């Protein structure tokens, strides 16, 4: 399943089954847009996994981020930039996450860190 703006909650719930109930509840209750899920769930998943040194979880979250960044839907990439990459670039935890990031995410982080 490729991420898309209109079906993002479904994509995200499939990518993170342990968050499915919370994601589906929010999607049904108030239909948040993808940037909400990215900031509220993906960024914390990535940071928590990195802080606790759960390599498999970091790699999974990084792979989901990479899929969002490289999806055909450019609006998703823009949402990930603002909801995940900018806060990550400003985070003290960026260095511990960076080696696990895919090429698109790593390139964007490098650019963000140079400009800040």
Say yes or no to pLDDT of 105 above 70.
yes
Domain definitions of the chain by residue range: 8-115
State the pLDDT at residue 116: 53
Phi/psi-derived region of residue 33, left when phi > 0, alpha when psi is between -120 and 50, beta in every other case: beta
Q: pLDDT (tens digit, 9 = 90+) per residue, 2-23?
A: 899 999 999 999 999 999 999 9
Q: pLDDT (tens digit, 9 = 90+) per residue, 33-89?
A: 999 999 999 999 999 999 999 999 999 999 999 999 999 999 999 999 999 999 999
State the pLDDT at residue 31: 81
């Amino acid at each position: 399943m490729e991420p898309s703006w209109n079906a993002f909650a479904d994509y995200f719930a499939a990518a993170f089954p342990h968050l499915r109930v919370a994601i589906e509840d929010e999607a049904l209750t108030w239909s948040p847009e993808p940037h909400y899920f990215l900031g509220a769930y993906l960024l914390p998943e990535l940071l928590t996994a990195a802080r606790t040194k759960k390599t498999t979880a970091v790699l999974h979250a990084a792979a989901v981020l990479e899929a969002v960044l490289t999806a055909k839907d450019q609006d998703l990439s823009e949402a990930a930039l603002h909801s995940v990459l900018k806060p990550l670039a400003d985070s003290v935890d960026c260095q511990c996450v960076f080696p696990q990031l895919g090429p698109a995410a790593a390139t964007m982080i490098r650019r963000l860190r140079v400009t800040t």
